[in-house]
Amino acid sequence: MTSLAAQPLSTLRATLTGAVFTAGDPSYDTARGVWNGQIDRMPAVIARCATPSDVVAALEFARGNHLDIAVRGGGHNFGGAAVLDDGLVVDTSGLRKITVDPAARTARCGGGVTWAELDAATQAHGLAVPGGTISHTGVGGLTLGGGFGWLTALHGLSCDNLRSAELVTADGRVLRTSAGEHPDLYWALRGGGGNFGVVTEFEFQLHEVGPLVQLGLFFWALDDGAEALRLSREIIDELPAGMSALVAALNAPPAPFVPTEHHFRPGYALILVGFADADDHAAAAAAVRDGLAPLFELVTPIPYTELQKMLDESAPWGTLAYEKAVYVDGFSDEVIDVITEFVPQKTSPMSLMPIFPLTGAFTEVDADATAFGGPRRPTLAMNIGALAMDMATLETDRAWVRRFWERLVPHAANSGGYVNFMAEYEQDRVRTAYGKAKYDRLAAIKAIYDPDNVFHHNANIRPAQD
């Protein structure tokens, strides 16, 4: 553990509006914990910032004490990028203010806000911004890497809806960035990850959503996997505007709507969500039943805020976890063959494969409009996640994830994958994720705002060299 001079540390404690934690403090172990339970790192200092000035002071303290820096938002990154050994963690979880302007359909939120908190605030006005599918994920990390979920087909990525951001740069400047202010930085923040500073506030464009949406969940057994995936391909291709979908290989939950004999049964699910015409949703549900009778289903109206929390139990805090991901252009028969070969080989009932169809509004954004690294044509983002509650099972399924991923790569549109779905930051994968042109552009912007690569505990963009 790094030894710190008492006087500078006491000065930091006196300076910060928020809290400072070091080893021996009663709340230190809680403060250093992150979502992935296998991450067990011991920072020298955790600065829980409550204002942009706190962030400035924390970065200045780190520079003065030659401390490496990590930035924590929601703490949900699979690789544990939010915490490090012997360095300083800039913890933004004290930045929780949310302001909604329903007339302008915009919202501002602090860098430590979770999607559950932002959804609750915006849904009070019948509005929402596209977020993820796990509500305790932080707004910051998801948005900076791209951000897709239930609303992506209707309104694009989270980063597509970012109007402006306030951030603190590595040298302590507080900047507001938007299309008209530091536009290079604004472009980079929309998909370029946490490479350019500590974002203390996000401003989003909002859309009319809910309060009720239509949910349809259909589940089939492993033996019906190939047929279920081909049916899902047909249904997704024909979905009308106002609907979105998710496909998953997972174990059935022990939920009230699941017959007892199917609790924890492995299989495949298709989830259809309707945001507009209830008749369109009903017609899509009927087409699913006509195509292949599911083992069970749940078709019901649901509050949008509950839809956003529906998958939370699949990823409880403290889970031991590992993941890899690829983009593929669709459910080809060859891809389906790989999926149905590998899904039955997993060991943990928690391990799963969520597949996100990226369609509609996602494809209407020009590929160069943001730094997001994925293709902007209709695409499937395939995530393979090993989740377990003990290390032996995690290690078994970590190997399964790697084998599975290797077999999918030959069919991939981008073997780098989605930067928010990386548990390991192999440099070639980060470069591949963005492609040469975008990576070089990001590296040039990095050289302007973080030339010393202070912010490198992430899907790192290295500063361009002169």
- Report whether 229 contacts 340 (CB < 8 A): yes
Q: Say how many Å lie between the first and final Cα of the chain, rounded.
A: 36
* Neighbour-count burial for 48-77, b at 16+ CB within 10 Å, e otherwise: bbbbbbbbbbbbebbbebebbbbbbbbbbb
For 304, residues 6+ apart whose C-beta sits below 8 A from its C-beta are 119, 123, 128, 209, 210, 211, 212, 213
Instruction: Assign 3-state DSSP to the chain and report helix, strand, coil percentages, each to 5.
Output: 35, 25, 40
Residues 346, 350, 353, 354: what is their CA dihedral angle, to the nearest 10 degrees? 170
> Domains along the chain?
6-93 (3.30.43.10), 98-208 (3.30.465.10), 212-421 (3.40.462.20)
Residue whose entry in the numeric block shows the structure tokens 């991923």: 405
What's the rounded Cα separation, in Å, for the pair 277 and 236?
A: 16
Task: Residue count of the chain, please give it.
Answer: 466
Q: pLDDT per position in the chain (466 positions), as tens?
A: 556 766 789 999 999 999 999 999 999 999 999 999 999 999 999 999 999 999 999 999 999 999 999 999 999 999 999 999 999 999 999 999 999 999 999 999 999 999 999 999 999 999 999 999 999 999 999 999 999 999 999 999 999 999 999 999 999 999 999 999 999 999 999 999 999 999 999 999 999 999 999 999 999 999 999 999 999 999 999 999 999 999 999 999 999 999 999 999 999 999 999 999 999 999 999 999 999 999 999 999 999 999 999 999 999 999 999 999 999 999 999 999 999 999 999 999 999 999 999 999 999 999 999 999 999 999 999 999 999 999 999 999 999 999 999 999 999 987 678 999 998 887 688 999 999 999 999 999 999 999 999 999 999 999 998 6
- How many CA atoms does the CB half-sphere of 130 hold within 13 Å? 22
- The pTM for the full model equals 0.95
What pLDDT shows up at residue 8?
86
Categorise residue 184: left if φ over 0, alpha if ψ from -120 to 50, beta otherwise.
Answer: alpha
Residue from 324, 229, 331 nearest 270 by CA: 229
Q: What is the pLDDT of residue 415?
A: 65
Whole-Å CA distances, 272 to 170, 280, 290, 305, 434: 43, 11, 15, 16, 30
3-state SS of 384-427 is EEEEECCHHHHHHHHHHHHHHHHHHHHHEEECCCCHHHCCCCCH
Rounded-to-integer distance, Cα 453 and Cα 242, Å:
42
DSSP secondary-structure letter at 352? B
Give how far Cα 413 sits from Cα of 256, 408, 418, 432, Å.
39, 10, 11, 11
List the beta bridge partners of residue 107. Answer: 100, 204
What phi, psi does 276 have (nearest 5°)?
-130, -100
Note the pLDDT of residue 3. Answer: 61
